[in-house]
Amino acid sequence: MPNDRTPRTITPDEAAALVQPGHWVDYGGALTYPDLFDQALARRKSELRSVKIRGCVTMKPRAVIECDPSGEHFLWFNWHFSAYDRAKNLDGRCNYIPMNFGEAPDYYRRFIDPVDVVCIKTCPMDEHGWFNVGPTAAYLKAMTERARVVIVETSRAVPYAFGEQCALHASEVDYVVVGDDAPLPELPNPPITETDRQVANRIIPEIEDGACVQIGIGGMPNAVCAVLKDSGLKHLGIHTEMFVDGMVDLIESGVVDGSRKNINRGLAVYTFAGGSQRMYSFLDRNTATQVHPVDYTNDPAIIARNDRVVAINNTTQIDLQGQAASESDGHRHLTGTGGQLQFVRGAYASRGGKAFICLASTYERHGQRKSRIVLSLTEGNVVTTPRTDTMYVVTEYGIVNLKGKSLAERATALISIAHPDFREDLERDARRVGLIPKHWV
């Protein structure tokens, strides 16, 4: 490590040589994953054993994983699964680390030890000696503070973002690898289905002018953005975890201007972005958007400082008591807790706030249609939002608010928005176990 703390430019192979067997290596998350360093580290496979690599939302295949199918040399750990991470988890190559995303910086500062080597992708150093990390603040500052060696792989493809804790000064960096400026990975937007639109259309009447929205990832949240654009609503704000493509349309159309926000007025605030090249270009040096660390964006107390916060998130299964399982399918892990619970709580605490948990009423498996609203969660399913926190639940068949409702009222309400083909069985099962009393009408 240079004694004067001035970063020294080195080759990818020289950077990879800093990693030793048993080291913990961090790649950051989403758009910050390095490429040349990753490839160079993979080339050292035969020299290394049990190198443990942490990431979050892997957006394209990684060389260290693809070169080592046995997992003998490189072990992969992840804070939130993408489709790639999920596939590697099924192969036994990727292991999930549970967390509320907004707590990630605190995890690094209090519990994560060691962090031997960090390598993240950044903009080239600017004239003031700063390496801008682009539209991914998340937990990067806390992570680099704990690292024994900090390497940046520069790329002109990284959008330059404004905000808080979105840059590393040269004095905080040990080594620089000059990257290849290849385009950043894009996150495809799932097509919007008719069910997605039906769910979105049930949510829109619940949103008021001047509301501040958080919108998750997926077809349903995308549909909400599409419907919001033509809703006639005005002066919406954005305070969210992930910046998604639909938000570009909302800002460019004038539906979102942030003028009614109590904090960060006039600004769309987020902690990381993932989507299309169009969106990356939109965020580049855009003074109407700000990236902040995730312990700011996802803190329920900070979320609640804006009025009329609307949190819109997906779930994959909900039971008749209102427990939402949004991150697993039994013992098979799918995604992660992310910010769902923190935004549900922040929206509830906001003056006039509303939290929506969205789901299609059914899904197909092995040619059979099954209900996502169930008496009991699938064995092994992880509860993301507890029944005490669940507020609005929305399917294509209706919208119900569970706050203040007894167990019998909750079960009855949720059955009313299940697919009609499953309602009779759900009610019979609920009565059989006493969730709905025998004489309840």
pLDDT in tens, 221-247: 778 898 999 999 999 999 999 999 999
Confidence of residue 216 (pLDDT cuts 50, 70, 90): confident
Instruction: Specify which residues 123 forms β-bridges with.
Output: none
Whether 8-178 and 194-432 share one fold: the answer is yes
Stretch 361-382: mean pLDDT: 96
What confidence score (pLDDT) does residue 4 get? Answer: 53
pTM: 0.96
Stretch 149-165: mean pLDDT: 98
Task: Kindly tell me the burial class for residue 311, based on how many C-beta atoms sit within 10 Å of its own C-beta (0-12, 13-18, 19 or more).
Answer: buried
> What's the distance, CA 88 to chain centroid?
18
Confidence of residue 190 (pLDDT cuts 50, 70, 90): confident
Stretch 280-309: mean pLDDT: 98
Q: Which of 340, 327, 100 is nearest to 240 (CA)?
A: 340
Give the CATH number of domain 8-178; options: 3.30.210.10, 3.40.1080.10, 3.40.50.1370, 3.40.630.10: 3.40.1080.10
User: What is the CATH number assigned to the segment(s) 194-432?
Assistant: 3.40.1080.20
Is the pLDDT reported for residue 67 higher than 90?
Answer: yes
Place of tokens 């996802």: 298
Q: List, by residue number, the catalytic residues.
A: 241
What confidence score (pLDDT) does residue 3 get? Answer: 44
CA distance 111 to 67: 30
Q: How far apart are the first and last CA of the chain?
A: 73
Is the pLDDT reported for residue 340 higher than 70?
Answer: yes
The predicted-structure confidence for 107-117, as pLDDT tens digits, reads as follows 999 999 899 99
Is the pLDDT reported for residue 2 higher than 50?
Answer: no
Mean pLDDT of the chain: 95
Q: Which of 429, 341, 425 is nearest to 389 (CA)?
A: 341
Cis bond upstream, residue 114 (ω within 30): yes
CA distance 385 to 342: 9
Q: Could you tell me the sign of the dihedral formed by the alpha carbons of 215, 216, 221, 226, in that order?
A: positive
The predicted-structure confidence for 387-407, as pLDDT tens digits, reads as follows 999 999 999 999 999 999 999
Listed by start position, the domains of the chain span 8-178, 194-432
CA distance 185 to 112: 28
What confidence score (pLDDT) does residue 222 get? Answer: 77
Q: Which of 317, 318, 313 is nearest to 341 (CA)?
A: 313
Instruction: Specify which residues 215 forms β-bridges with.
Output: 312
Q: Dmax over Cα atoms in the chain, in whole Å?
A: 78
